[in-house]
Amino acid sequence: RSQRPGEAVTPLTISASAPASPPSSPPSSPLDNPIERQRLSDEQLDLTVLQVQTLCKRLINEYQACIRSKEVDPTHYRKTEVAINKCSQQLTRAHRQMVRKTWHTGEAEQFLNMYNGKDGGKCDSFTDAARRVLLVNRVARVWRERASSNVMKKTNSEETGRRAMQLGLDSWDEIDIFQLDSDTGHPLATAFMAVWERRRISKICKMSSVKVQELLHAVELQYKQNPYHNQIHAADVLLAAWYLWSGLTNCSGMQHHYTEIDLLVMLFAAAVHDIGHPGLNNEFLTKTRHSLALRYNDISPLENFHAATAFELMKDKGVDLLDHRLPSPPVQALRKRVIEMILATDMAKHEEKLERFSAMSTGTLHDMDKTVLEKHLLHVADLSHPLRPYSLHRQWSERCTTEFFSQGDQERELGFEPVSLYDREKAPPLAKGQLGFLKFIVIPAWKPLQNIAKDAIEVPERFLSENLARWEKLAEQSS
């Protein structure tokens, strides 16, 4: 019996001792489990075709021999015909079920018809029919996987949007960044997409939300599992930058001074400002002649590396996050701003940048150079964990100390003498070390910003004062 076009086949086991007479009862369906059959590899399916061909030839010969024989009971004819018809019906039914389950639209079938040049004719042989079935299976498998992938992307995007609505972006102390990392595993992507959804940046950005989320996941993978300079730190800096930026834009006369494109530049710079950080500072890279120091001629090697890595990754992923629908500014100008913000996080330039910002902060907020303000804002966000609630600030302080000591250990192994802050044997107690950090680094950078936007950043200022008092008390107790 010739196989009908489109009818599915299933592997049959060929026994070495096949019966020489027609079966006494109807054979079982050759398609007991179409889902399991779908999982077979192409090589197994090709082997199955050969096995079925061999068995069919044998059965045809036996059937014809029975017809020619006058001694065979006529009931065997009827049983064989019933078995063949039943097998054909079940094959057709199973094939249709498979198509309904695996083809989400008619697009796959249209493609198959075009590829096959289908004209509704019959197959010339069993092999032709079997090959068509194999082709249907392969095309259906590809389209099923593609549809599943699209559904997964849509689900992930919707989940991110749901989390974005749940994040307390308007509160400085509501988000526990460590808990966010524990809950999601993607603190940076979640934080970025939360602001993205809140401000509807997708309306001006040419990239889809799904593509942006894919880029952020790739950025997270580039962050190393350092105690301090990791994706959690990047997420914390991003949220701090968002809060401070949002507060400044709500000040009198600033509502239209900054736009969503300015926010996008700030968010991207914050997200990638420490990407690929090795857990070592520039001083270590320079004196050990590290490859990054040699590549960037000892000039802010880490910060140059972060900026270059970010834009290389964006190019590799084909996601130009800074490409927008507005008539201006040009993308190249936005790229320059991102690079300058990242370079401004180099602590070696702390005093120089602070003096320039302090000199410009004597006027009104509206009169300040936008690029100078955004660079200082990101720098402050990078140093902002002392402005967080004490429980979070303490964790960051301990993580930073652990990373410092790790560098100090490497310096000692290489024959260098680490400075006391990086030497676990000579370092001051945690309380005294943090007092120095707050008084000589954080507060001098924070005060000029506070002076020009007091009402907008009142909550961080309160936590800074509380943390300073807490460390002073602990330092007294340890002395």
Write out pLDDT tens, residues 130-143.
666 666 566 556 55
> Residue 361: what pLDDT?
76
Closest CA to 239 of 174, 277, 192: 192
Q: What is the pLDDT of residue 105?
A: 46
Percent of the chain past pLDDT 90, that is, above it, reads 55
d(CA 42, CA 76): 36
Active site residue 229: yes
- Of residues 107 and 182, more confidence is placed in 182
Tell me, what's the pLDDT at 250?
A: 83
Residue 224's identity, in one-letter code, is K
Q: Is the pLDDT of residue 115 over 50?
A: no
Chain mean pLDDT for the chain: 81
Of the candidates 224, 159, 228, the one whose C-alpha atom is nearest the C-alpha of residue 190 is: 159
Query: Residue 314: how many CB atoms within 10 A of its CB?
Result: 20
3-state secondary structure the chain: CCCCCCCCCCCCCCCCCCCCCCCCCCCCCCCCCHHHHHCCCHHHHHHHHHHHHHHHHHHHHHHHHHHHCCCCCHHHHHHHHHHHHHHHHHHHHHHHHHHHHHCCCCHHHHHHHHHHCCCCCCCCCHHHHHHHHHHHHHHHHHHHHHHHHHHHHHHHHHHHHHHHHHCCCCCCCCCCHHHHHHHHCCHHHHHHHHHHHHCCHHHCECCCHHHHHHHHHHHHHHCCCCCCCCHHHHHHHHHHHHHHHHHHHCCCCCCCCCCHHHHHHHHHHHHHCCCCCCCCCHHHHHHCCCHHHHHCCCCCHHHHHHHHHHHHHHHHCCCCCCCECCCCCCHHHHHHHHHHHHHCCCHHHHHHHHHHHHHHCCCCHHHCCHHHHHHHHHHHHHCCHHHCCHHHHHHHHHHHHHHHHHHHHHHHHCCCCCCHHHCCCCCCCHHHHHHHHHHHHHHHHHHHHHHHCCHHHHHHHHHHHHHHHHHHHHHHHHC
pTM of the predicted structure, to 2 decimals: 0.68
Of 257-261, 265-269, 400-404, the range with the lowest mean pLDDT is 257-261
pLDDT number for residue 135:
63
| Residue 192 confidence (pLDDT) above 80 | yes
Give me the mean pLDDT over the 406-424 stretch: 96
Sequence-distant (6+) residues with CB within 8 A of 470 are: 390
Q: Which two tokens stand for residue 259?
A: 């736009």
Q: What is the pLDDT of residues 62-89, one digit of tens each?
A: 766 666 665 666 666 666 667 766 666 6
Q: Is the pLDDT of residue 90 over 50?
A: yes
Q: Which pLDDT band holds residue 220 (cuts at 50, 70, 90)?
A: very high
What local confidence, expressed as pLDDT, does residue 128 receive? 62
pLDDT of amino acid 369: 87
Q: Of 95, 186, 229, 306, which residue is the catalytic one?
A: 229
How many angstroms separate the CA atoms of 6 and 17, rounded? 31
pLDDT for residue 97 is more than 70: no
- 447-460 pLDDT, tens digit each: 998 888 776 788 99
The pLDDT score that the predictor gives to residue 202 is 94
**What is the pLDDT at residue 288?**
97
Q: What is the mean pLDDT of residues 284-305?
A: 98
175, 177, 173, 96: which is closest to 140 by C-alpha?
Answer: 96
Q: Between 254 and 284, name the one with better pLDDT.
A: 284
User: Which is higher by pLDDT, 27 or 474?
Assistant: 474
Which position has the token pair 């954080």? Answer: 442
The pLDDT score that the predictor gives to residue 364 is: 72
